[in-house]
């Protein structure tokens, strides 16, 4: 059984189509990241998955259950951590945690609160009113409120937005710890480095469409695979001449020739046939930022065509 | 049993929010107290309520029931504010993602609103007692007054819900309460309607607040004469209001939050 299955989901608000035929699956025990800019449809999808909203078309399953028809069975299995922190700032952190624990029907409330407050490094602040907390502490408290109980699928909607780098790193570690505890994390973010560092799988969403889906490595490979051929410095001019004559596009810095994956093998054999001394033949590692830019370029080109 | 615990937990949260917020206490409890003191000791002597010359004592006896309902009406603004705050902060979304029966979420707001309104009403009533007001009624009548207060509180709480859910911010969420206050001012709550301008008097005599206030006054003071019709009209207004506002609230809430 998959943790999350989304098939052909669409959602429209008035004339605005926010989600267009979304398909994705999330395995149990993995971190799936939905990556996209503001307004791409991330929160709309998370609201559907978290039983807050119904899709117009398509099907959704959470651990095999329909969030709309079987919402009462789904809700004990999920936890939602929304973009905005939602607590009573005039109450203490402990009061806020107690409220959620009571609502979740947790039997041993002190033990459950002790566990999450240790996990999120909140223990010493629990007695203080939340209005005295820093931004990072507030975010950790909000996450602690979501982690109370025994939810199996945790939805984290941009949990690190507006969080300073130190707390962001701490939140990353906590998200990984959730996954390591066997739970499934559905994360949305605008941060490429976050998706790259945490995700088992990533879906790029743009204008309500998932334009790329895969592991971080697969996505990097598919979108921007380039190769670098390094030749003997004495033979740079000859190599340039050969590539130009063969109409192979390249860029080069001194003896390093950068080529697209489609033509890299042809360029390599051409050089070897002409006895050019190839010192290195390397596949370049792309970062997600370049993937993101490439996807945007591709989509913009499609739009212009 | 778990549902009752959830209802208790959420209701206690909202009551506590109200009782620990200075702005709420000032507006809903202190302000009606101040108005009661002002009307009784500054204006009361000049308002003839019992046919003869006015006095602070006779005015207090006449006006206290009206002030009690006025207190509840002021409380309804904070009912709306609390719900709106939960909606705009995303707290309602968090609650809807938890394993809680849907009715408990707004039900806790309704229950908390009634509890807070009754507490505020009690506080103003105690001030009235200190000022010299005496109940001339049986225990049964007093209990009926409490029942009437609860129906009135329920009606205005249900009226507050659609405004709280639709308003963009808390400032506009409580705006409807000014209409309630205006209806109370242009009724028999604070002075008899017979001295009002003719057109205003016709309006005052036929709008819902007048029979409700008159019935409340009768229940606390058996010496006040009142036709049965007035009580029946008050009951019809209250029941009709509760039904209409409940349907309206449910429709707005369902459109926003109930996925099926």
Write the ipTM: 0.85
- The answer to whether residue A78 sits within a structural domain is yes
Both tokens of B138, joined, read 């049986």
Q: Which of A204, A221, A238 is the last residue of a domain?
A: A221
Q: What is the dihedral of CA A192, A193, A199, A201, to 10 degrees?
A: 40
E strand map for chain A: 4-13, 16-26, 31-35, 57-62, 78-81, 153-157, 184-189, 201-206, 209-214, 226-231, 251-253, 256-260, 278-283
Residue in B13, B90, B259 closest to A99 by CB:
B13
How many angstroms separate the CA atoms of A252 and A164, rounded?
39
A104 pLDDT above the threshold of 90: yes
Share of chain B residues as helix, strand and coil, in percent rounded to the nearest 5 = 80, 0, 20
How many angstroms separate the CA atoms of A11 and A9, rounded?
7
A101 SS3 class = helix
Both tokens of A173, joined, read 């570690």
Low-confidence ranges of chain B (pLDDT < 70): 50-53, 223-226, 259-260
A132 and A189 belong to one structural domain: yes
- b/e burial code for range A76-110 (CB count within 10 A of at least 16 → b): ebbbbbbbebbbbeebbbbbbbbbbbbbbbbeebe
Report whether B204 contacts B196 (CB < 8 A).
yes
Q: What is the mean pLDDT of chain A?
A: 87
Determine phi and psi for B208, rounding to 5 degrees. -60, -30
A290 pLDDT above the threshold of 70: no
| Alpha-carbon distances of B89 from A88, A146, B92, B165, B168, rounded to whole Å | 10, 16, 8, 12, 11
By C-alpha distance, the chain A residue nearest B100 is A103
Determine phi and psi for A8, rounding to 5 degrees. 60, 35
A26 SS3 class = strand
A162 and A115 belong to one structural domain: yes
Task: Give the tens place of pLDDT for each residue, B194-238.
Answer: 888 999 999 999 999 999 999 999 899 876 666 778 889 999 999
To the nearest whole angstrom, how far is the Cα of B7 from the nearest Cα of chain A? 9
pLDDT at A218: 81
* Chain B residues touching chain A at CB-CB below 8 Å: 2, 5-6, 9-10, 13, 16-17, 20-21, 89-91, 93-100, 257, 259-260
A84:B16 CB<8 A: no
How many angstroms separate the CA atoms of B65 and B214, rounded?
8
Q: Which of A221, A248, A271 is the last residue of a domain?
A: A221
A57 and A154 belong to one structural domain: yes
- Count up the domains in chain A and report the number: 2
By C-alpha distance, the chain A residue nearest B14 is A88
Task: Give the tens place of pLDDT for each residue, A162-206.
Answer: 777 777 888 888 899 999 989 999 999 888 888 888 999 999 888
pLDDT at B260: 42
E strand map for B40-161: none
A99 and A16 belong to one structural domain: yes
Q: Predicted confidence band at A303 (pLDDT cuts at 50, 70, 90)?
A: low
A293 pLDDT above the threshold of 80: no
Cα A118-A123-A125 angle, rounded to 5 deg: 145
Report whether A103 contacts B100 (CB < 8 A).
yes
How many angstroms separate the CA atoms of A128 and A170, rounded?
21
Residue in B20, B98, B257 closest to A104 by CB:
B98
- The answer to whether residue A242 sits within a structural domain is yes
Q: Supply the range of the domain harboring residue A263.
A: 226-283
- The answer to whether residue A302 sits within a structural domain is no
A24 and A108 belong to one structural domain: yes
Determine phi and psi for B224, rounding to 5 degrees. -75, 130
How many angstroms separate the CA atoms of A94 and A133, rounded?
13
A102:B6 CB<8 A: yes
Would an 8 Å CB–CB cutoff place A83 in contact with chain B?
yes
Would an 8 Å CB–CB cutoff place A51 in contact with chain B?
yes
- Relative to beta strand A153-157, strand A78-81 is parallel
- The answer to whether residue A75 sits within a structural domain is yes
A219 pLDDT above the threshold of 90: no
Name the more confident of A34 and B1.
A34
Q: For residue B96, which residues of chain A lie inside 8 Å, CB to CB?
A: 51-52
Q: What is the CATH number of the domain that holds A232?
A: 3.30.70
- The answer to whether residue A124 sits within a structural domain is yes
A186 and A111 belong to one structural domain: yes
Would an 8 Å CB–CB cutoff place A99 in contact with chain B?
yes
The size of the A-B interface in CB pairs under 8 A is 71
- A residues 126-155 lying closer than 8 A (beta carbon) to B: 145, 155
By C-alpha distance, the chain A residue nearest B94 is A80
- The answer to whether residue A169 sits within a structural domain is yes
- Relative to beta strand A201-206, strand A209-214 is antiparallel
A131 and A242 belong to one structural domain: no
Q: For residue B95, which residues of chain A lie inside 8 Å, CB to CB?
A: 103
pLDDT at A91: 93
A201 and A104 belong to one structural domain: yes
A304 pLDDT above the threshold of 70: no
A170 and A129 belong to one structural domain: yes
Handedness of CA A112, A115, A119, A121 (dihedral sign): positive
Report whether B32 contacts B125 (CB < 8 A).
no
pLDDT at A281: 85
How many angstroms separate the CA atoms of B82 and B89, rounded?
10
By C-alpha distance, the chain B residue nearest A86 is B91
Cα A229-A233-A239 angle, rounded to 5 deg: 55
Which residues, 6+ apart, have CB-to-CB distance to A52 below 8 Å? A80, B93, B96, B97, B257, B259
Report whether A19 contacts A55 (CB < 8 A).
yes
Q: For residue A99, which residues of chain B lie inside 8 Å, CB to CB?
A: 9-10, 13
Which residues, 6+ apart, have CB-to-CB distance to B177 below 8 Å? B73, B74, B76, B77, B80, B156, B160
A17 SS3 class = strand
A115 and A171 belong to one structural domain: yes
Residue in A68, A75, A100 closest to B260 by CB:
A68
Which helix (DSSP H) or strand (DSSP E) does residue B66 occupy? helix B56-89
Both tokens of B136, joined, read 């001339």
B90:A69 CB<8 A: no
Q: Which of A88, A146, A148, A150 to mutate to test the interface with B (most CBs of B within 10 A)?
A: A88
pLDDT at A245: 92
Residue in the structure block whose two tokens are 């205005």: B156
Q: Predicted confidence band at A38 (pLDDT cuts at 50, 70, 90)?
A: confident
Task: Give the tens place of pLDDT for each residue, A45-81.
Answer: 999 999 999 999 999 999 999 998 898 899 999 999 9
Q: What is the CATH number of the domain that holds A203?
A: 3.40.50.300
Give the max Cα distance, chain B.
62
To the nearest whole angstrom, how far is the Cα of A144 from the nearest Cα of chain B? 13
- C-alpha closest to that of A278 among A242, A303, A247, A246: A242
Residue in A80, A84, A90 closest to B97 by CB:
A80
Residue in A47, A91, A102 closest to B9 by CB:
A102
A216 and A231 belong to one structural domain: no
Q: Which of B8, B11, B16, B94 to mutate to test the interface with A (most CBs of A within 10 A)?
A: B94
The strand order across the sheet containing A78-81 reads A78-81, A153-157, A184-189, A31-35, A201-206, A209-214
A108 and A124 belong to one structural domain: yes
How many angstroms separate the CA atoms of B141 and A198, rounded?
67
Q: How many helices (H) and strands (E) does chain A have?
A: 11, 13
Residue in B9, B89, B90 closest to A103 by CB:
B9
Which residues, 6+ apart, have CB-to-CB distance to B219 below 8 Å? B65, B137, B141, B142, B144, B145, B148
pLDDT at A297: 67
A104:B2 CB<8 A: no
């Amino acid at each position: 059984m998959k943790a999350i299955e989304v098939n052909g989901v669409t959602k429209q608000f008035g004339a605005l189509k926010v989600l267009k035929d979304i398909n994705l699956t999330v395995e149990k025990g993995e971190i799936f990241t939905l990556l996209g800019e503001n307004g791409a449809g991330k929160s709309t999808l998370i609201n559907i998955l978290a039983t807050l909203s119904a899709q117009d078309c398509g099907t959704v399953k959470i651990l095999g259950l329909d969030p709309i028809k079987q919402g009462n069975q789904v809700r004990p299995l999920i936890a939602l951590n929304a973009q905005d922190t939602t607590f009573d700032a005039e109450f203490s952190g402990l009061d806020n945690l107690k409220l959620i624990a009571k609502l979740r029907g947790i039997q041993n409330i002190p033990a459950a609160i002790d566990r999450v407050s240790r996990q999120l490094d909140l223990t010493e602040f629990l007695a203080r009113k939340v209005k005295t907390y820093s931004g990072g502490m507030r975010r950790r408290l909000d996450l602690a409120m979501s982690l109370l109980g025994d939810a199996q699928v945790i939805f984290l909607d941009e949990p690190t937005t507006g969080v300073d780098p130190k707390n962001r790193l701490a939140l990353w570690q906590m998200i990984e710890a959730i996954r390591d505890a066997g739970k499934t994390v559905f994360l949305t973010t605008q941060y490429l480095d976050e998706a790259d560092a945490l995700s088992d799988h990533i879906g790029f969403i743009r204008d309500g469409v998932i334009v790329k889906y895969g592991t971080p490595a697969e996505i990097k490979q598919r979108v921007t695979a380039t190769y670098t051929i390094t030749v003997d410095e004495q033979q740079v001019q000859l190599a340039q001449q050969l590539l130009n004559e063969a109409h192979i596009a390249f860029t080069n810095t001194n003896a390093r020739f950068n080529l697209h994956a489609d033509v890299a093998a042809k360029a390599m054999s051409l050089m070897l046939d002409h006895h050019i001394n190839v010192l290195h033949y390397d596949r370049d590692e792309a970062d997600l930022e370049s993937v993101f830019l490439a996807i945007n370029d591709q989509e913009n080109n499609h739009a212009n065509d | 049993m778990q549902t009752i615990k959830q209802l208790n937990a959420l209701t206690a949260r909202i009551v506590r929010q109200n009782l620990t917020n200075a702005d709420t206490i000032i507006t809903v409890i202190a302000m009606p107290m101040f108005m009661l003191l002002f009307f009784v000791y500054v204006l009361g002597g000049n308002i003839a309520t019992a046919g003869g010359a006015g006095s602070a004592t006779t005015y207090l006896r006449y006006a206290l029931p009206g002030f009690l309902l006025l207190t509840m009406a002021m409380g309804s603004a904070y009912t709306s504010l609390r719900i709106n705050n939960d909606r705009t902060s995303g707290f309602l979304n968090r609650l809807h993602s938890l394993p809680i029966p849907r009715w408990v979420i707004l039900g806790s707001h309704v229950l908390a609103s009634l509890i807070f309104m009754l507490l505020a009403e009690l506080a103003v009533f105690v001030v009235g007692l200190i000022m010299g007001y005496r109940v001339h009624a049986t225990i049964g009548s007093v209990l009926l007054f409490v029942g009437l207060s609860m129906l009135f509180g329920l009606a205005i709480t249900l009226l507050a819900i659609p405004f709280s859910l639709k308003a963009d911010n808390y400032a506009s969420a409580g705006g409807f309460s000014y209409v309630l206050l205006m209806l109370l001012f242009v009724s028999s709550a604070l002075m008899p309607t017979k001295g009002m301008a003719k057109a205003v008097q016709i309006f005052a005599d036929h709008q819902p607040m007048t029979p409700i206030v008159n019935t409340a006054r009768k229940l606390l003071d058996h010496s006040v004469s009142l036709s049965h019709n007035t009580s029946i009209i008050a009951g019809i207004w209250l029941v009709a209001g509760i039904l209409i506002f409940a349907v309206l609230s449910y429709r707005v809430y369902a459109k926003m939050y109930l996925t099926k």
